């Protein structure tokens, strides 16, 4: 039977970061817990924190489940994670600058050429162009899992438009409203500086032709997008305009925003739309979401796009396997955070192993996200395993496989009381003139007993994430 590391209890004793929570949980009767849970849901509903699940009938907007039991990291644990996350963000950005430039890592034989230059996320339109400050991925979401007291692994990298930061901020806000005494009793590092840091990061990568205080906007696909709440939330917090493609236009060497007082020049676009839809003159000609001519202005230094078009090649789950090598190649350092061991089905030996052990592994599409397009072997039926086997055989290069990790658990409020549930963590690393991240992140929790899938689209919930000051 698999044993899982419980982040609150070890060898029958409460671990140090959680000691002040033990009395809190014992002193909370079931009636109060249920009342507080209903209060939290009412706050989420009133604020409008919902997410959409594509393909569902009826009203697709629904609340993301919120668990009131916080996840806690000691300051020492967080310090190590922070160093590893920043190191990884530096290496990923160095890789992107390299593969759109001289391609030294490919020439050195450290990563196969086909994984980079034949990757569907590699954008030839920006080859040879170096964005301001050399930064491609300005907001890097690093998904982490824990398997023991000192064992953390990177599950995947999100270099384009990682979502979920609004939940990190709102989880904290709601916990502080509902349990102010907890925050007086525990020295918890704040996360509310995120929006200010994000705005500073975006402004710090203003384009070469910007000779004034840069105007920053967030470009959204619109209110039908699953993360639209987050787009509007961040725009409000940063005090910047939320725009759609139709609100912007190109004239000469610059991008302008339509306003009631006439056109206003835009210098930095924090885009929350995919590469393919950014500019119909450069990418998909049928896109109604982008701005015609935007890429010409971008390449000529008239506007910055964050994160840069083409950053998605670093998100690829096959490229992910080479990130430790990127750390060594570009930084001359050993990786602080390790990858999950990964088999690439595009390699014949790896493919054979995966097919022979399919019922034991987790298999993912290299471009998949949100918990879709994956197989969790130990939790699947024989029929599901065989159906997935056929998909892998038909297109091996589209899949990677990983062992089923013994993800750590944290105490979680369930109908029966408190029970352990599996969690992961997504901190948000901001990359501009400097690299920084707020102390915390989005903890996602698999609310179904025994489930290892934490994605909200697959029934997962969220928790407040605490980093203690001492």
* Beta carbons within 10 angstroms of residue 271's beta carbon: 25
56 closest CA partner among 462, 456, 463: 456
What does the domain layout of the chain look like in residue ranges?
9-339+405-467, 343-403
pLDDT digits (tens, 9 = 90+) for 354-410: 999 999 899 998 876 655 678 888 888 989 999 999 999 999 989 999 998 889 999
Query: At a CB cut-off of 8 Å and minimum separation 6, what does 395 contact?
Result: none
Segment holding 37, helix H or strand E: helix 30-47
pLDDT score, position 58: 41
Q: Which two tokens stand for residue 258?
A: 């339509």
pLDDT digits (tens, 9 = 90+) for 192-208: 999 999 999 999 999 99
Query: At a CB cut-off of 8 Å and minimum separation 6, what does 24 contact?
Result: 179, 182
Out of 51-55, 181-185, 213-217, least confident range: 51-55
Q: Please tell me the chain's helix, strand, coil percentages from 3-state DSSP, rounded to the nearest 5.
A: 35, 25, 40
Q: Which two tokens stand for residue 350?
A: 């790896």
Q: Which two tokens stand for residue 63?
A: 């609340």
- 343-403 is a CATH 3.90.1300.10 domain: no
Which whole number is the average pLDDT over 320-349? 95
pLDDT digits (tens, 9 = 90+) for 58-70: 445 567 889 999 9
pLDDT score, position 416: 79
Q: How confident is the model at residue 417 (pLDDT cuts 50, 70, 90)?
A: confident
| DSSP symbols for 133-173 | GG-S-SEEEEEEEE-SSS-EEEEEEE-S----HHHHHHHHH
8 A C-beta contact, residue 145 and residue 217: no
* pTM higher than 0.85: yes
What are 401's strand-pairing partners?
A: 343, 363
């Amino acid at each position: 039977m698999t044993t899982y590391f419980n982040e609150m209890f070890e060898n029958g004793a409460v671990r140090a970061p959680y000691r002040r929570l033990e009395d809190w949980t014992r002193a909370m009767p079931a009636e109060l817990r249920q009342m507080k849970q209903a209060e939290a849901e009412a706050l989420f509903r009133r604020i409008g924190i919902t997410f959409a699940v594509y393909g569902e009938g009826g009203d697709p907007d629904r609340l993301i489940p919120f668990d009131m039991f916080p996840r806690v990291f000691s300051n020492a644990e967080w310090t190590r994670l922070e160093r590893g996350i920043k190191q990884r963000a530096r290496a990923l950005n160095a890789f992107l600058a390299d593969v759109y430039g001289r391609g030294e890592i490919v020439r050195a034989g450290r990563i196969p050429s086909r994984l980079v230059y034949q990757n569907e996320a590699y954008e030839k339109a920006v080859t040879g162009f170096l964005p301001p400050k050399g930064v491609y991925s300005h907001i890097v979401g690093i998904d982490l899992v824990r398997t023991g007291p000192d064992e953390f692994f990177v599950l995947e990298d999100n270099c384009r438009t990682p979502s979920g930061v609004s939940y990190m901020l709102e989880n904290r806000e709601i916990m502080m409203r509902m349990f102010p005494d907890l925050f007086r009793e525990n020295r918890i590092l704040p996360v509310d500086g995120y929006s200010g840091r994000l705005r500073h990061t975006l402004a710090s990568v203003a384009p070469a032709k910007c000779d004034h205080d840069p105007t920053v906007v967030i470009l959204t696909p619109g209110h039908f997008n699953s993360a639209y709440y987050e787009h509007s939330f961040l725009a409000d917090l940063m005090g910047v305009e939320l725009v759609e493609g139709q609100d912007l236009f190109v004239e000469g060497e610059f991008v302008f925003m339509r306003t009631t007082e006439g056109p206003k020049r835009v210098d930095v676009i924090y885009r929350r739309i995919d590469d393919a839809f950014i500019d119909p003159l450069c990418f998909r000609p049928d896109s109604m979401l982008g701005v015609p001519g935007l890429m010409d202005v971008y390449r000529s230094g008239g506007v910055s796009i964050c994160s840069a078009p083409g950053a998605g090649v670093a998100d690829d789950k096959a490229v992910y396997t080479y990130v430790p090598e990127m750390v060594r190649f570009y930084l001359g350092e050993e990786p602080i955070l390790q990858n999950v061991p990964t088999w690439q089905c595009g390699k014949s030996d790896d493919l054979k192993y995966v097919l022979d052990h399919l019922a034991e592994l987790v298999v993912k599409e290299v471009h998949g996200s949100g918990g879709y397009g994956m197989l969790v072997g130990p939790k699947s039926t024989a029929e599901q395993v065989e159906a997935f086997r056929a998909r892998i055989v038909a297109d091996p290069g589209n899949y990677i496989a990983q062992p089923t990790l013994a993800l750590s658990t944290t105490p979680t409020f369930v109908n029966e009381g408190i029970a352990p549930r599996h969690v992961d963590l997504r901190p948000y690393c901001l990359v501009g003139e400097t690299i920084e991240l707020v102390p915390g992140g989005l903890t996602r929790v698999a609310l179904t007993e025994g489930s290892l899938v934490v994605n909200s689209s697959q029934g997962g919930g969220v928790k407040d994430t605490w980093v203690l000051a001492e």
